[in-house]
Structure formats: C-alpha cells, structure tokens
Chains A and B, each alone.
Chain A
Amino acid sequence: MLAYTLKRSLVALMILIVVSALTFSLSHLATDPALTIAGENANQEDIEAIRKMYGFDRPVHVQYISWATRALAGDFGVSYHYREPVSDMIAGRIGTTMTLGCSAILFALIISIPLGTVAAIRPNSFIDRVALFFAVIGQALPTFWFALMMIIVLGVWWRWLPISGNTSWQHFVMPTIALGYYATPALMRLTRAGMIEVLASDYIRTARAKGLRPWKVLFKHALRNAIIPVVSLAAVWFGFMLGGSIVIETIFNLKGIGWLSYDALLRSDLPVVQAIVLIFASFYVVLTLVADLLNAYLDPRISVR
C-alpha cells in the first residue's frame, strides 16, 4: 500500500507538471497579453513598453519557470483588470465554490447510493422503477432549466428559499440540488449495476451460509465491493461539478470561482484565467489520486496489480 501510494503520487506530480506547462503555453499562444493590457487605442511604443515591463519579451520557457515558481508559492500575479493580487481574488471565492461542489457531490451520493442499493435488492420492483424514472428525468433535464424551475417554484412562488447570494446555508440549498441532481443518475445506475453483480457473487452466498444477518451481508460484504467503481466515478463527477458550477454560480449569483472565471474570460484577464485553470487542474489530479487510494483501500487487490 505504501509503495502504491508513492507510485501514484509520483504519477500525479508528473501530470501536474505537464498540466501547468500546458496551461501556461495555451494562454500565451491564444492571445498577446501585452495587447490586451495596453487596450485598443495604444500605440506600438506603449505596447513594447508593456511587453518589457511584464517580461513578455523573454523566452517562453523562462517566463514559464518564473510563473510556475511563483505559482508554487501562491503568487499568481496581479489581475490586469482589477489590479488586485490574483491569489487574494481566488482565496475570497474558492470557499463558495468548494462548499457548493462538496455539498453537491454529497447530495448526489446520499441520494444515489441508497437508491441504487434498494433498486438492486429488488430489481424491477416499484422502487426500482421510481428510481429509474428519476434517473431518466435527471439525465434529460438541462441543469440550467432545472435550476430556473427551482427558482420559480421554491424561490418565487412559495418563497421557501433565497434565490441569490451566498450569505447563509439556505442560499446553497437550490444550487446544491441543481448541481448534484445532475450527477445522481449515473452514480445511481452504477451503484445498482455493481450491487446486482455483487449480490449474485459466491462470497455473498458464503456470507449467507455463515448465517450473517441480511443487513450485515448487504453493508459489510456487498456494498463495500459494489462501491468501488462508484468512488472513481464520483471523483470524475466532482471535477465536472466544479467546472459546471460556472453555470450554477451565474444563475444563483454565487460569487465563487465559476463566476470569477466567467468574468475573467470576458475581460481576457490572463493571470486570473491561468490561476483558475491551474488550480482546478491540480485539484482534479489530487481528486483522482485520492479516489485511487480510496479504491486501493477498499479493494486490497488493486495495490498489487
């Protein structure tokens, strides 16, 4: 397990290096930052001066290394537009996005694992049908439409929940449901399929042959094995959700990273975009690593493969 952890961490580190290089070079290929900063009416001399001042005239790899070393220390430069340190801007908003992402994935798991399990215990039963129904709906509805419907019904008609802002936990209820519901069908179906397969396996028969109580057979012997693929998928979905939070944050006016990246893209605010892409990518890499390690813990066979 220790060797496996080290090996996986090393791979993750290498991916991070590649990702950061890609992030940096892509944004430098896409635009000429000096032009963006100088604005539309600037003359050639101003542009050259800016290029010198920001160091854009240096070779690309030198720029990358200086950017990467500063990024490692948490310094992502200064926003071209707001003239604020990017790290401060992100620090102020990442909490909102993380709260939203975590609560959405938890919401999705809390709904999909029990529902998938119950559906698997009695395939084709009433509960299975109901679960399937919601799964199909969940996959068919566009997130933004579902979010708007919630705003209309829960926020405007019934006035149960606040519809915009992030000052209390109530503000997060609808965004969480809107974002989490989208991941529920896939997770639920995977739980159901895994559970059906595991419940038919020989070791479940062994567990029953020992006289174990049904709940113990289910939770100790079946769920642990059925959940393994779900963990990987949940990690992927968590990544998607952080990306998908751009839409949700905009709809609910939650000023998180999603909202910030939307704003920064509109303004070609390069340091902000770079920092966000890098942070999300790193987060994704770490997430995959955690999922892999969790799987290795759940299934001891994985770490010897």
Chain B
Amino acid sequence: MSSTVLEVHNLRIEIPVAAGLLQPVRGISFGVDKGETLCIVGESGCGKSLTSLALMGLLPKAAVRSADRLEFRGRDLRGLGERQMSDIRGASMSMIFQEPMTSLNPAYTIGNQLEEAYLRHHRGKRAEARDRAIYLLEKVGISAAASRLKQYPHQLSGGLRQRVMIAMALMCGPELIIADEPTTALDVTIQAQILHLLADLQREFEMGMILITHDLGIVARVADKVAVMYAGKIVEEGPCERVFENPMHPYTQGLLRCIPVPGKTRRGEHLGSIPGLVPNLVGDIRGCMFRNRCPHAVDACLELGDTAVSLDGGHAYTCVRDVETIRASSSEPQPA
C-alpha cells in the first residue's frame, strides 16, 4: 500500500503588487506518495519556487497562501502557526535551494551548520549530530568528511556546497524533500551527478520527493509523476512515461520538442522552441492561459474552465481539444 505523504488541493498564492493582485499560483493540485518522485516542470516564472516555498511555509511576508486541502502526513498545514511549521521544517519536510553558492552562512563552518539542523529537532548530544553529519557527508559523496566539518563554505566549490546542502536537508531523515532546481547554478558536468545522487538517496531513504527542474532529460530518468506548470496552473500531469509518450497539452508537446533526442534529432536541425511570452499574472485571466502562444488556439479556448480531461492511469490535461483530435494532430508532422 502506498501511503500519501503530501496532498495539495487548489493551492493559490496571491501577492498584492502596485499593478494589482499578482496571482503566481492559480489553483494547483497534486500529491506525493512515500518513496515517490514528482517532477514539476515549466518555464521560468510559472510559480514553481513559490509553490515549494508555500509548502514549507516560507513564502515572503506579502504573499497570501490559500488551499482547499494542504495535508502533510495526514496533518492539515493550513492552520499551523510559525512555531508549529518550524517544528516540521527540516525535520520531516526539507528543502534544497537553487543557489548553493549563497545558501550557506559564510560565517560558520560546514560542521556547525549541519549539526545545528540535527540539534534543532533532537535533544541529542553534539557528538551524535557530528556522527550523523559525517555519515551523510560520506553519503553525498564527500571524501574526508570528518575534516570537511571544520571548513567554511568559501573553501568549497559549488558542487560540494550543493552536496552539503543535500546532506543538511537529510540530517533529520525527512519524509518529503523538495528540491527546487538544485543544479541550475552548477556546471553541466556536475548537474547530472547531483541529480543522480538525489535520486539515489531518495530511493535509499524512501522519501517522497518534489523535484523542480528545467531538464526534461533528467525528468525522464528519475520521475514517477510529472506535473507540467504554465503560468501558475498545472496544464498536464500524470505518470512520467505516459506524459512523455503521449503529451496531450500543446505546451507539454512544445516542451518535449525542445529536447534533442539522439538519433532522432539530426545535427544542426532547428530545435523547437515555444514562441511568445508568458501572460502577465496580475488579476484574473479568462480561459486557457496558453492560448496566445498555442498553435491550435480556437475561440473555445476563452471558455476553458478548470476541469481537466482525465485519461486512464492518472494522466490528465486541461485543454479544449479532445483526445481524438490531439492524437490525430500529433501523428501529423509537427509545424516547425
């Protein structure tokens, strides 16, 4: 039996700004089971980071979060105060950030910052925290772990720092780990290493994981489920292989066309990119958010509601086109 770790229904985030009410997240729903990896993909600015901060209770002060359901291990997070949320953060729900270079405090040693994460949630002794830190540093592939504890962040490379951040997130054995583009700031060669490491650790410790990334190649390899986000909404979701094999939403199709496939994509061939701009997220927007960039847009797109079209196996998408039309059009050669 798979037990649900996180259950989110109709999550919304609103930020009052000078131009009006910014709605960067507009009613999204998803769930994560124990030992499952959910990948959230989508263009820059579609609300992925805000979504993860909302789960952690770390949204900026101005942002207002609301949801019909927000349950973590069966516990409703909606009414929890800062104190109760801080008991959960770092203990059973951890987060890894996008910026390893600046996410560690320059004034304290790695050891100090790792141990602190453990000591916050355990009455344990310092020695216990130290052992745990060394164990995890070795786990994340850092050699000479014991001597690293005395080092300061500026003495480590970006890749090492992100490994330290991963170890820090694991200090208390969380059940859910949220990784927000953990490799964007790193060298390409190191990106794959870090993502594989995360995937391995997630499997070993049977954690639920939300992995936010731009890299669809990685998604294909590590995700159990995929949620495709566009302008604050999830436009398509489902088991990884179904979404990759049968992308239904024009945006997903566009994204998938952006990855080069060895053998299929010829050298020098023009890779598909999605023309156009993301709509302004201030105020209400009627109908489909993608219609101004969609190659298949019709008048009916203006009337599109929030209900998704469900296919079997948990695959769902939000588009006015029905399954047959989509299947028929995607077997035709794609417009360049």
Contact = CB atoms under 8 A, between A and B. Distances in A.
Interface of A: 201-203, 205-214, 220-221, 224-225, 298-301, 304
Most chain-B CB neighbours within 10 Å: which of A210, A220, A225? A210
B117 interface: yes
Most chain-A CB neighbours within 10 Å: which of B89, B103, B105, B108? B105
Interface in B113-150: 116-117, 120-121
A213 B89 CA distance: 11
A221 B120 CA distance: 14
Contacts of A205: 58, 97, 103
B107 A298 contact: yes
A60 B94 CA distance: 72
Nearest to A221: B105
A211 B121 contact: yes
B58 A206 contact: no
Contacts of B152: 300-301
Contacts of A221: 105, 107-108
29 contacts: A201-B102, A202-B102, A203-B105, A203-B106, A205-B103, A206-B103, A206-B104, A206-B165, A206-B168, A208-B58, A208-B86, A208-B89, A209-B90, A209-B95, A210-B89, A210-B116, A210-B117, A210-B168, A211-B86, A211-B88, A211-B90, A211-B117, A214-B82, A221-B105, A300-B106, A300-B152, A301-B106, A301-B154, A304-B154
Contact of B107 (A206, A299, A304): A299
A201 B106 CA distance: 11
B99 interface: yes
Nearest to B114: A210
B91 A211 contact: yes
B308 interface: no
A225 B102 contact: no
Contacts of B107: 221, 224-225, 298-300
Contacts of B58: 205, 208-209
Contacts, number: 71
B43 interface: no
A181 B246 CA distance: 71
A202 B120 CA distance: 19
B154 A300 contact: yes
A214 B89 CA distance: 13
B102 A203 contact: yes
A224 B112 CA distance: 14
B72 to A, nearest CB: 14
A299 B165 CA distance: 20
B86 A213 contact: yes
Interface in B154-211: 154, 165, 168
Most chain-B CB neighbours within 10 Å: which of A207, A209, A214, A298? A209
Given A203-B104, A210-B116, A220-B108, 7 more contacts: A202-B103, A211-B88, A211-B91, A225-B105, A300-B107, A300-B154, A301-B154
A211 B120 CA distance: 7
B285 to A, nearest CB: 30
